[in-house]
Amino acid sequence: MDDRPAVGERAPEDPDVLVLHAPEQFKALGHPVRHRIVNLLRQRPATLGELAEALGAAKGTVAYHLRVLRGAGIVHLAGTRHVRGGTEQTLALVNRGFRVHEEAPAGAAFLVRAALDEMRPARPGQAEHTVLNHIWLTPEEAGALADRLRDLVPVFGPAGRPDSEPYGLLLALYPADIPTLPPGDDTAP
């Protein structure tokens, strides 16, 4: 029996988080334009015209990518209004946040690819820190650390503040495939 949430299902412990697990969700989010659309909609709901202008893309291109995101249950129609003889649609993310289901086969690789796709080199004097560390933990310690990492994800001010620019934050705790040596002989030189 598959106990994964249905497409578009909220995380039981946090209803504001969408649990990603379905192949169509990863496919939808895996395209760079759709990833950028999601990043724009994290700032606020927007119209097709606003998204196209922010991306510097044609409305038809953006509309196609929005259909894919809507089909994957990631974006929804948040409202409509009549303008100049037509109807303008406002689109929004279905949830303020996403979490990859623990058993999603593409989960970790998807997140790493997404982070790499949006990374750009730091300018002189700009803050940047990327490091990979390995630590040895018991399963209990790993569980406690994972809980602390979830709690540490900061919520900063709104996008578009004149004194701010976007930074990515990728936190990962995963079982690593690293060989280990048996305990050493303390008598060896």
15/9 Cα distance (integer angstroms):
9
DSSP labels for 81-124?
EEETTEEEEEEEESSSEEEE-TT-TTHHHHHHHHHHHH--PPPT
Q: Which tens digit of pLDDT belongs to each residue from 94-138? A: 987 777 776 666 666 666 666 666 677 777 877 777 777 778 889
**Domains of the chain, CATH where assigned:** 10-129 (1.10.10.10)
The C-alpha R_g of the chain, in whole angstroms, comes to 21
- What percentage of residues in the chain have a pLDDT greater than 90? 22
Residue 30 near residue 36 (C-beta atoms within 8 A):
no
Question: What pTM was estimated for this model as a whole?
Answer: 0.63
Q: Share the mean pLDDT of the chain.
A: 76
